[in-house]
Structures are given as C-alpha cells and as structure tokens.
Structure 1
Amino acid sequence: MSVVLQASAIIDAIANPGLLLAAFAGGAFGAALGALPAFCFTGFMVIAGEAANLAAGAVVEAGSIDLGGAGVAAGITGNVAFGTVFGPHISFAGGAAAAAYAAKKGYMDFGFDYHEAKNIPAALGTKPDVLVVGGLFGILGYIITAISGTVGLPWDPIAIAVVLSAVAHRLVFGYDLIGEVRGSGILDMGPFEREEMRPAQSSAGAMTDGGETKQRLATEPWLGHQYKWGNVAMIGLVAGLIGGVTALTTGSAFLAFGISAASLTFLNLGVAQIPVTHHMTLPASTAALAVTGGVAEVGAVAMVVAGVFGVSGALTGEVVQRVFYAHADTHFDPPAAAIVVNTFFIAVLAIVGVFSTAVWVPTL
C-alpha cells in the first residue's frame, strides 16, 4: 500500500463522527464504572460473543480477523467486547486516565493502599469533568487502535492503545513516567517485602486516606500476591495450557481471554489471591492456533507452545510492572504491555515462516 493510500485509509478509519462519539461514551462509561469493573464486562462480553459464534458455527477462521478501526470480527465480540462499548483501549484506558485525573484533583479518598491514581477498581461516578476525561481518552484509544490496525503494525492494536494511553495520561496530568527507583535496582521488590516506606516529606511519599496523611510503601507491586518470579512463571504455565486447550478445542483465540478477564470480577470484589491471567491466555491461545494453522485440534506441540507463551506472557508482565508500575503513581497496565510484546513475537514467527499464520495478529 502506498503512503498516500495508507494515509487515506487511516483517515477513513478515524474520521467517522459516529464512532468517535461512541468512543467518547465508552471512555466516559469506563470512568463511571471504574477501569477494572469495565474490563470485567469486557470478559463477559467476549464469553457471550464467542459462545454465540460457536453456537452458530461462526467462529472466525484464522487470519480473517480485522483488528482495524471497526474492531475484531463481527457480532458481540467485535462490536461490543472489543468495540467502542467495552473495548479495553476505550473503556479501561479511559477509566485509568480518569482515575489519574480524579486523584490529581483530590476527588478520590477511598482508603486505597497505594496512590489513589492506581485505584482502578473504584467507580468514579458522575462528575462531569471526570467523565469528560474518560471520554477524551476513549477517543484517543480508538484513534491509536484504528491507526495501528489500519497500518497493520505487528502486535495487538488494542493492547498498544492501552499502553500508549497510560503513557499519555501520565504526561498530560504531570505524573512521572517511571517514578523514583528505590532498593537495589528497578526490578527489586525487596523494599515491598521489607515494608519499607517512602520519605514522608516527599510529594510522592504520602497519600490521603480518610482525610489523614499516610506514608506510602517504597515500592508498590501491581499484585502483592503475584510478583515472585517462580509463582508468576507457574501460573503462566497453567494459564497458558488452559488457553491452549480452550483454543484448540473450540477454534476461538479469544474465549480463554474472556474467561480470564471475567474472573477479575472476584478480584474487584476483594477476594484474596485471585490471579490475573488474560496476558497469559490470549498469547497462548493465539500461538496454539498459529502452530496448527488455525485448525482446532489438540496436539502435544501446540500445547507446549501454548505453555511457553503463557509463561512468556506472565514473565513479560512482571518485568513491565516492576519497571513502569511499582515506582510510579498511576496505573500502567502490565497485561496490556505483555500482550503487545507476545503478539509481536507471534507476528515475527509468522513472518519468518515458523508459524504458518499469525491468526488474528496483523503482520504488516
């Protein structure tokens, strides 16, 4: 595609006023519900959409899914779960940005253990300015996804939008991109384990809790129950195998992702020890189908590859949380970044001929 034709296609993808308005509404709704609750609904909608496709015998064949401006495939999965209603690039990213804004404005005082800007389980209600911020970041997520999908950049266009939206909200609202590193290095979670605190006199060292000023932990892991390397690798292997067998028995690259996302409802409700696994199951499911050329058939090689990608997704997410989440003040989504990295791996393996297809991942 020539540069002129590519530019025209991008303009066509992002210049639909109706979809821009829908993206604004989706981002604002994500802010109202809270980023994490909105993402839980993404999971439920994926399950509903893939179940409907399976019932109708209409699971999309490998390589035929378009993650461009309109979303993924058709029906509930594409138009609702990954569209402008509950697409993570819109509702989740908009909710996370709105939390960063609301914390900066002093609206959030929920007694959260970390900085309130990281409090993505919290619903932000109906404050007009907060909803506007969510809506504007919903539009940003829509535009990034449309551009990435239209150009065919070799990764998940939705996940890259979640990542870039987080970078944008930190820059726009005056938060540090990484934050001050404490301990023996950027990957060190020792200060958390020792319950070391940040200096109370620093602007990043204190937070408001019930009207009182409280010190913050020196490092704040994304998941206090899911950060040790061995534990993360093990849950990655388990989730990867589950993602693989789900994809290989149904033909759906997205069903296991939906199950993982929906399971976060329990995390949002405060159930202890719930693992976060959607960045493990999605790459694993996709890689398993890439091995078989999209054929839904359980085999040892495909299952091993699924397990490898599950572990890779888990460990990649852990690296990202230690670099971009633990020292900073707002939510930066480790699963989204891990999905970007691992779908890039899948695209590259397809481009060089190791995989016969990249399934739904664009390959330029």
Structure 2
Amino acid sequence: MVADLLLQVPIVDMPVADLLLLLIAAFGGGAFGAALGALPAFCFTGFAVLAAEGARLLSGGSDALDAPGILGAIAFGPVFGPHVAFAGGVAAAAYAARKEGVMYEPEDGDYHVAKDIAYALGTRPDVLAVGGIFGMIGALGTAISGALALPWDPIAIMVVVSAVLARLAFGYPIIGAGDRDILDMSPFERGEERSPPEGRSDVATDGGTQTATRLAVEPWLPHQYEWPNVAAIGLVTGLLGGWIALATGSPFLAFGISAALLTFLNLGVENIPVTHHMTLPASTAALAFAADPTGMTQVAAIAIAGVFGVYGALVGELVQRIFYAHSDTHFDPPAAAIVVATFTIVVLAIVGVFPSTSWVPNLGLV
C-alpha cells in the first residue's frame, strides 16, 4: 500500500523513463522548496494533505476525487513532499549560509543563520541547484525505502538522512556540543553566549564564524522544550489525532492540520506549537490498533493515540537536544520522531500487540 500511496509505482518495477521523470520532478520540487524556504514549503504540504483527504471524504471515502493523486503526487510527492521540498530547502539554507550576501543576517544573531528555515532563498541558481540535488536524493531514497518496505515512514527517514548529508557536504558538525552537556537547555535560559576567540570580534560557531552574537545553546522551539509542557501538548494533540483518525479513517488528516497550522508560526505568531510528529503517530497507532473500532475498542484506540502523541513529542524533544540545539543547521526533530514512532508501531505489530501497521511498511512481516 505505501508504495502506491507515496510513490505511485514501486521503484523496482519502475521503467527507466518513469524513474527519470520522478528525479527531474524532484529536482524541480527541491529547488522550489529552496526558493520558498523549507518551512513555507512544508506548510503547503499540510494544505495539500487537507485538499486530498477532504476530496476523499467528500467522495464518501472513495479515492475517485483524488485522481491522479493529490496525496501521493503533490502532498507526498515531488511537489511538496517533505523529503523533496522541505529537505531541499534545509540543505539549500545550509549551503546559502556559507555564501556572503545570500541570507539576511538577523540583527540579534541569536541562532546560526543556516537554521532560519522560514527564510525564502529566492532565485539564485546555485542555491536552487543545491535544493534540487537534495530533492532528487530525497525522492530516490524514499522510493528505495518504500520499495523495500523498510519498517518506518519512508518520507521521514529521508528528511533525517538529507539533514545529515547536508551537514557533511557543507562542513557542519553532526552534533556540535563540544564539552557542553548535550541535554542541558539551561544555558539558553540564562542567555549564555558563545565567546569570540581572543583578539577577534566574530563569534566561533561549530561550522565557521559569524559576526553577530550567538547563543551557546539554541533550542529548536524556545516556547516548546520543557519536558512536562512537551508531554502535555503531545497528549492533547495525540488524543485529537486519534479521534480524527477514528472519525474519518484517515491516518494523514490530523498531520495535514498540524502542518498547515505552521503557517501561523511562519508568519510570526508566537507560541504556536509544532505537533505533526504527535498527530501522525497518534493517528497511525489508533488505526493500527483498530481499523474499524466500536465501543470500548474505540476508547482503547484513542487512549493508545494519546500515548503515541506523548511518545512522538518526547522523542522529538530528545532529538532536538542532541542534534539541533548545539549544531549550525536545521535537523528536523519531528521527522526523526516520526521515524522512531512508526518503527515502534511496526515492532508492536510484529510481536502481536497491534493487528496491523496501518499504512507503515513492515517488510511483509505483518
């Protein structure tokens, strides 16, 4: 199912012309994601998911109104697929931060400029090319993961892999904590800054230097990093994600809502939570537990969704502390959390706790 949904045709059966078509489209999608900026592109992923799932629901659950595939070809394909447009935008930002005059340096300079994924990178050919190349990498990797039925979200895994490749390609550290406690966010709370080398006015970073002052620790979301608060929003959105999945039969609708709501974050509305790594695992777990729930089974399914909402939230926070807060480029905590959560669903299905894995590939073991 996942190959048909996310990729249209499994790569092992794909004619050479179709594979070239996919890669060419993915180059365009990655470059477009770089032009728009990674976060604006991902917001449109959410809108495309809403359009696709709305069409399916209006057709009475049929996929007829989704032809030829808004979900697979647009939302999760070469146009706005996170492995293409978002990942391409992240990689392009990492590249552009190395080039003088490409990215605007914020006046406060609190964070490394390469982390500004809300910034539209415009039309510079070399920046677009980087986005396009990483879009192709994302499309190819996702196609391979889906065709092999590897036991996780094939899109999310390539968002993670792409972020690592961008750091390696452009000379950024994978973690970058140095001698700091990797899980400690208190330097951020105290406003501690990185000190410039003696005799210099610029600030040492993990991947070079920049002239603006920079915080010693840079949490992914300054308004969403305390463990109890993260768990609380995970529970709330997990329950809602489970309810939406049970009411509509869609594991992706709540994800689309979460992604589309990030438009407000991109526009500067303060304290907007990021929740797609909570709602997607929650919806998926609810449907994996009970595809057609009634009565107490439905109650159990929504409770499980709440647990997976918390799980996705806490894994995302752990990932941000290890891979985001101390390094220089964007490393997406939600994508990593979705990989871990979907893999967990597969494991639970293999051992018999869940009767299915919903849409998640499972190596044919379930």
Displacement after TM superposition at 1:257 (Å)? 0.1
Displacement after TM superposition at 1:11 (Å)? 4.9
Give deviations 1:286-328, integer Å, cap 9, x for gaps: 0011111355878210111000000000000000000000000
Taking structure 1 as the reference length, what is the TM-score of the superposition?
0.89
Displacement after TM superposition at 1:12 (Å)? 4.4
SS of residue matched to 1:203:
strand
Q: Contact 1:294–1:357 at 8 Å: present in 2 too?
A: no
Displacement after TM superposition at 1:10 (Å)? 4.4
Give deviations 1:69-117, integer Å, cap 9, x for gaps: xxx9962111110011000000000000000000011221241531111
| C-alpha distance 290-73 of structure 1, shift in aligned 2 (>3 A) | farther
Displacement after TM superposition at 1:58 (Å)? 3.0
> Which residue pairs with 2:315 in the alignment?
316
Aligned pair partner of 2:153 in 151, 156, 159: 156
Taking structure 2 as the reference length, what is the TM-score of the superposition?
0.89
Q: Contact 1:99–1:117 at 8 Å: present in 2 too?
A: yes
Aligned pair partner of 2:174 in 167, 173, 177: 177
Aligned pair partner of 1:272 in 270, 273, 284: 270
Equivalent residue letter for 1:326: A
Count of matched residue positions in the alignment of Structure 1 and Structure 2: 340
SS of residue matched to 2:72:
helix
> Which residue pairs with 2:76 in the alignment?
82
> Which residue pairs with 1:68 in the alignment?
none
| C-alpha distance 255-325 of structure 1, shift in aligned 2 (>3 A) | same
| C-alpha distance 108-117 of structure 1, shift in aligned 2 (>3 A) | same
Displacement after TM superposition at 1:181 (Å)? 3.7
Aligned pair partner of 1:128 in 125, 128, 136: 125
Equivalent residue letter for 2:57: L
Q: Contact 2:82–2:155 at 8 Å: present in 1 too?
A: yes
Give deviations 1:34-62, integer Å, cap 9, x for gaps: 000000000000001000011112357xx
Check if 1:349 corresponds to 2:348.
Answer: yes
Q: Contact 1:35–1:93 at 8 Å: present in 2 too?
A: yes
Q: Contact 1:27–1:92 at 8 Å: present in 2 too?
A: yes
Check if 1:236 corresponds to 2:234.
Answer: yes
Give deviations 1:141-195, integer Å, cap 9, x for gaps: 0011011101111000000000000000000001011113454x21100110111
> Which residue pairs with 1:222 in the alignment?
220
* In 2, Cα distance between equivalents of 1:207 and 1:56: 55
> Which residue pairs with 2:285 in the alignment?
287
* In 2, Cα distance between equivalents of 1:43 and 1:14: 30
Unaligned runs of 5+ in 1: 1-8, 61-71
Q: Hey, which bits of structure 1, 4+ residues long, moved more than 6 A? A: none
Q: Contact 1:243–1:256 at 8 Å: present in 2 too?
A: yes
> Which residue pairs with 1:6 in the alignment?
none
SS of residue matched to 2:152:
coil
Check if 1:36 corresponds to 2:39.
Answer: yes
Unaligned runs of 5+ in 2: 1-9, 198-202
Q: Contact 2:110–2:213 at 8 Å: present in 1 too?
A: no
| C-alpha distance 265-87 of structure 1, shift in aligned 2 (>3 A) | same
| C-alpha distance 141-73 of structure 1, shift in aligned 2 (>3 A) | farther
* In 2, Cα distance between equivalents of 1:44 and 1:273: 21
| C-alpha distance 73-228 of structure 1, shift in aligned 2 (>3 A) | farther
> Which residue pairs with 2:7 in the alignment?
none
Q: Contact 2:12–2:147 at 8 Å: present in 1 too?
A: no
Q: Contact 1:32–1:123 at 8 Å: present in 2 too?
A: yes
Give deviations 1:228-262, integer Å, cap 9, x for gaps: 00000000000100100000000000000000000
